[in-house]
Structure 1
Amino acid sequence: MTHYFSDFHAKNVSNTVQAFESYAADTELDDLQRRLDAVRLPEAETVYSGEPGLQRWKQGVPLADLTELVNYWREEYNWRSFETRLNQIGQFRTVIDNLGIHFLHRRSTRKDATPLILTHGWPGSIAEFIHVIDELADPTSADAPAFHVVAPSLPGFGYSDKPITIGWGTEKIAAAWVELMDRLGYHRFVAHGGDWGGNITTLLGGRFSEQVIGIHTTFAQGPPGLTMEGLTESERSWAEETHDFWSYRAAYAKQQATRPQTIGYSLVDSPAGLLAWIFDKFAEWTDTVDSPFETISKNRILDNVTLYWLTRTGASSARIYYESHNSLDPELRVHVPSAITMYPRDIEKCPRTWAQKRYRQIVRWATPKTGGHFPSLEVPDYFVKDLQEGLAAVLAARSSES
């Protein structure tokens, strides 16, 4: 259900912003229930071990873990509570380059608030941010910076439209985000992202320095061709871990970069298949020993997976890899103030020595002791504090320039 939001009315109808409300039809939820009731699962993995630890996951999601989560999804999970929260924050849609873009928008009550765009990645969604938006907009501490928060759904994700032609790679998405913020009256803003969102945030800082005050990212990638000469022992370890990840644990990315349509049929047709494909990444990429539920609740993960399911975006979201895998311009440099945080269990950690070759004005570099690829879900309190402090450093650096 949608209704018109007149506060952002534009002269050109294609530029209008409309308020949007999530409401999944009961028939959609009933269909999900039927599919979960009729689920067909394979036999247990052959590396099964009753002992807790990563050994259990060597062939992927263990049968026992997926069975437990499928049962919880079928019997206890409540989609309506998540849907209500989305509507409470404030949802909107607008059309940019003939594609409908969905976004959350929460304005701060503070007069000194700075516009901020948050960009998620895969297999995440706006579900990563719904529980931190309020604190970012109206922080409990008067000393913390406040933000007018905009969190869009990437093209092909969530309630954004699915592109019907090629071309919606990260460069085009970054340009669309600038248009989106301008359309909301935010002509100057800061940006944050991780995963694909970090890639897009890097592009925002590198391509749009007139609009982007500065950035905060948990993704940093130095230019290609850098050597390990001069790296510290810990930096060398980071580089080796990242190389190991892309060499041996990134089959999902190669599949989605080359054959997203093929895997997409399973992701759109089977809720258990979609759950396993996404759950696997939450397990492997979090700072945990045996299960992602050590730091993230079942409800948080199912909010995210159910959003993918109800919007039928398993295939369309995978195509961001086809559009943009390994496409970051080697010549791109970011000259705006940048705050970078490298979480210890993230899948791709860039040594500062390498990062500063691309990010030319790093004003804050953080290496927390805990956290992985989904810090807003794993360590939400730290994530908010780190984002506030990082962007405060960005704003201070920009202020000193003027």
Structure 2
Amino acid sequence: MTNDIRPFRIDVPQSELDVLRDRLARTRWSRQLPGEGWRRGMPVARLKELAGYWRDGYDWRRHEARLNEFAQFMVEIEGQDIHFLHVRSPEPDALPLILTHGWPNSFVEFAHLVDRLTDPRSHGGHPSQAFHVVIPSLPGFGFSAPPRETGWDTARVARVWAELMRRLGYDRYGAEGGDFGAYVAPELAKAAPEHVAGVYVISGLGFPTEEDVPGMTPEELAQYEGMQQWAGGSTVDHHALLRTAPQTFAYGWHDSPVAALAWMMQKFEDFNTAPQPADELIDRDLILTNVSLYWFTGTFGSSSWPYYDSTGFGWPEGQKAAPTGVYSGPPGLRRLAERHNTVVHWPVDNPGRHHFVAMERPDAVAADIRAFFDKIR
């Protein structure tokens, strides 16, 4: 087996940009259904405005050039082509750190985080807090090849990540993950316990189940009820949808950029707890760069495998092979998280109103990652 690491550069053909703009201009718009706000889904007027900006205001080439400032590569592991960013810090003693993105996201999730981690001198940190950053694209997401068979799970992804870090020559490193990454990062510690220094999870550990309810305090019960209301409210159950018929819906996402945009914005809004819309809370161009990446790579369908290969929904449990830290303890309960994790970092007041907080608050996330790894370096 050879390392077979090849340089990679994003270069979307101009013809693809022209097709996207043409399709956006020829959208067959649906009528607005009765109901206030998002009660029936993304409002037509708001989607028209955002699609118009995507067509005439958003500059893919500018963002493509920004992404190409990061060193990118392709490597074949277990017969799978994996795309990844590998950005080394100017600090020679930096700790390697592998970041795993979520769904429906991509390596774009960390676009504003990279420099803050690799060059802390320029972002309020100490040079001893620097990281060499590795950001792989999950199989079937973005430029990573889609799985050719069923059976992929978090443990298999973690084994691929461990092999990637081995080929890069890293013997000791940290692991971070949010959303789907919150399942993968702990599995990486299980797959390579002698190499993973610590696991940092954005959120999701210590979430109670129905079996935990009888032993919960009144304060914990109130928190649990709030979680249940949010989960069972007006959000679209993408777990059930993608577990049942991802192929059916992929035709629309793959063929219509407006259908794809509406779906992405629905989920970004479902993941939003702020009063303002998601594309005002998070840089609108960053969201559209993520949507554009899915569109140009045709990965709306292939990125659904974490769901159609699952049997149901469950919160990540974590692991005890390495110390654990989180960006946000609540709404999880620390005493429950400690059943499966050695928790050394559990802040309760970090800022953020969106599920993809690294896109919303990159300064705060970078500072908290530094704070966790300061404890275990």
Residue number in structure 1 paired with 2:107:
126
Summarize the Cα distance change of 1:246–1:284 in structure 2 as closer, same or farther, 3 Å threshold.
Answer: closer
Aligned partners of 1:116 and 1:147 also within 8 Å: yes
Residue number in structure 2 paired with 1:53:
none
Report the CA distance between 1:196 and its aligned residue: 0.2
**Structure 1 portions without partners, runs of 5+:** 1-11, 49-55, 396-402
Report the CA distance between 1:23 and its aligned residue: 0.3
In the comparison of the two structures, how many residue pairs are matched? 371
Partner secondary structure for residue 243 of structure 2: helix
Residue number in structure 2 paired with 1:219:
203
Residue number in structure 2 paired with 1:339:
325
Residue number in structure 2 paired with 1:88:
69
Residue number in structure 1 paired with 2:193:
209
Deviates more, 1:232-241 or 1:167-176: 232-241
Aligned partners of 1:155 and 1:168 also within 8 Å: no
1:243 aligned partner, one-letter code: Q
Aligned match for 1:159, one of 143, 146, 153: 143
Aligned partners of 2:205 and 2:316 also within 8 Å: no
Partner secondary structure for residue 53 of structure 2: helix
Summarize the Cα distance change of 1:324–1:210 in structure 2 as closer, same or farther, 3 Å threshold.
Answer: farther
Task: Output one character per residue of 1:244-279: Cα deviation in whole Å (capped at 9) or x when no partner.
Answer: 444453522210112111111111111111111111
Aligned partners of 1:91 and 1:102 also within 8 Å: yes
Residue number in structure 1 paired with 2:83:
102
Partner secondary structure for residue 200 of structure 2: strand
**Structure 2 portions without partners, runs of 5+:** none
> Where does 1:17-36 land on structure 2 (aligned, <5 Å)?
17-36=5-24
Aligned match for 1:391, one of 366, 373, 377: 373
1:126 aligned partner, one-letter code: F
> Where does 1:172-321 land on structure 2 (aligned, <5 Å)?
172-222=156-206, 226-248=211-233, 249-321=235-307
2:45 aligned partner, one-letter code: A
Report the CA distance between 1:102 and its aligned residue: 0.2
Deviates more, 1:141-150 or 1:381-390: 141-150
1:312 aligned partner, one-letter code: G
Under a length normalisation based on structure 1, what TM-score does the superposition of the two structures give? 0.87
Report the CA distance between 1:327 and its aligned residue: 7.3
Under a length normalisation based on structure 2, what TM-score does the superposition of the two structures give? 0.92
Aligned partners of 1:221 and 1:355 also within 8 Å: yes
Aligned partners of 1:120 and 1:194 also within 8 Å: yes
Aligned partners of 1:215 and 1:391 also within 8 Å: no
Aligned partners of 2:205 and 2:329 also within 8 Å: no
> Where does 1:7-46 land on structure 2 (aligned, <5 Å)?
12-13=1-2, 15-46=3-34
Identify which of structures 1 and 2 has the higher relative contact order when contacts are C-alpha pairs closer than 8 Å and 6+ apart. Answer: 2
Report the CA distance between 1:150 and its aligned residue: 0.3
Aligned partners of 2:85 and 2:136 also within 8 Å: yes
Report the CA distance between 1:241 and its aligned residue: 3.4
Cα separation, 2, equivalents of 1:117 and 1:326 = 27
Alpha-carbon RMSD: 2.2
Cα separation, 2, equivalents of 1:253 and 1:121 = 13
1:394 aligned partner, one-letter code: I
Aligned match for 1:375, one of 333, 357, 366: 357
Report the CA distance between 1:101 and its aligned residue: 0.2
Summarize the Cα distance change of 1:187–1:16 in structure 2 as closer, same or farther, 3 Å threshold.
Answer: same
Cα separation, 2, equivalents of 1:333 and 1:302 = 35
Aligned partners of 1:170 and 1:324 also within 8 Å: no
Residue number in structure 2 paired with 1:357:
339
Task: Output one character per residue of 1:96-127: Cα deviation in whole Å (capped at 9) or x when no partner.
Answer: 11010000110011122001000001011111
Report the CA distance between 1:394 and its aligned residue: 3.3
Cα separation, 1, equivalents of 2:246 and 2:359 = 27
Task: Output one character per residue of 1:18-71: Cα deviation in whole Å (capped at 9) or x when no partner.
Answer: 0100000111111101100101121113113xxxxxxx1122111111111000
Cα separation, 2, equivalents of 1:77 and 1:332 = 39
Aligned match for 2:46, one of 65, 70, 73: 65
Deviates more, 1:329-338 or 1:256-265: 329-338
Aligned partners of 1:168 and 1:323 also within 8 Å: yes
Summarize the Cα distance change of 1:325–1:298 in structure 2 as closer, same or farther, 3 Å threshold.
Answer: farther
2:5 aligned partner, one-letter code: V
- Identity score, percent: 38
1:195 aligned partner, one-letter code: D
Task: Output one character per residue of 1:171-207: Cα deviation in whole Å (capped at 9) or x when no partner.
Answer: 1101110001111011221011100011101212234
